[in-house]
Amino acid sequence: MQYGDNTLESGSSVLTDVAARNRVLRNTYALLALSMIPTVLGAWIGVRTGFSFFAGSPFIGLLVFLAVAFGFFFAIDRFKNSGIGVVLLLGFTFFMGLMLSRLIGQVLGMANGAQLIMTAFGGTAAIFGVMATVATVSKRDFSGLGKWLFVGFLVVLVAAIANIWLQMPALMLTISALAVLIFSAFILVDLQRVVNGGETNYVTATLSIYLSVYNVFSNLLAVLGIVGGDRD
**How many Å apart are CA 41 and CA 96, to the nearest integer?**
10
DSSP state of 210: H
| CA 27/CA 209 separation, integer angstroms | 13
Is residue 137 a contact partner of residue 76, using CB atoms and an 8 Å limit? no
Instruction: Please state, as a whole number, how many other Cβ atoms lie within 10 Å of the Cβ of residue 192.
Output: 22
Residue 44 dihedral angles phi and psi, to the nearest 5°: -65, -45
pLDDT tens, the chain, 232 aa long: 455 555 545 555 555 677 888 899 999 999 999 999 999 999 999 999 988 776 667 778 888 899 999 999 999 999 999 999 999 999 999 999 999 999 999 999 998 989 999 999 999 999 999 999 999 998 899 988 989 999 999 999 999 888 878 888 899 999 999 999 999 999 999 999 999 988 899 999 999 999 999 999 999 999 999 888 776 5
- Contacts within 8 Å (CB) and 24+ apart, 90-95: 90/34, 90/35, 90/38, 91/38, 92/207, 93/35, 93/36, 93/38, 93/39, 93/42, 93/210, 94/38, 94/39, 94/41, 94/42, 95/42, 95/68, 95/69
Tell me the angle at which helices 169-195 and 145-166 cross, rounded to the nearest 10 degrees: 150
First to last CA, the chain: 80
DSSP state of 199: -
Q: Collapsing DSSP states into helix, strand and coil, what is residue 164?
A: helix
Cα–Cα distances in Å, from 135 out to 81, 217, 223? 25, 20, 26
167: left (phi over 0), alpha (psi -120 to 50) or beta: left
Alpha-carbon span 109 to 94, nearest angstrom: 22
156 sits in which H/E element: helix 145-166
* Model pLDDT for residues 49-68, shown as the tens digit of each residue: 988 776 667 778 888 899 99
pLDDT tens by residue, 116-143:
999 999 999 999 999 999 999 988 999 8
Give the separation between CA 137 and CA 164, rounded to whole angstroms: 40
SS3 198: coil
CA 45 vs. chain centroid, Å, equals 20
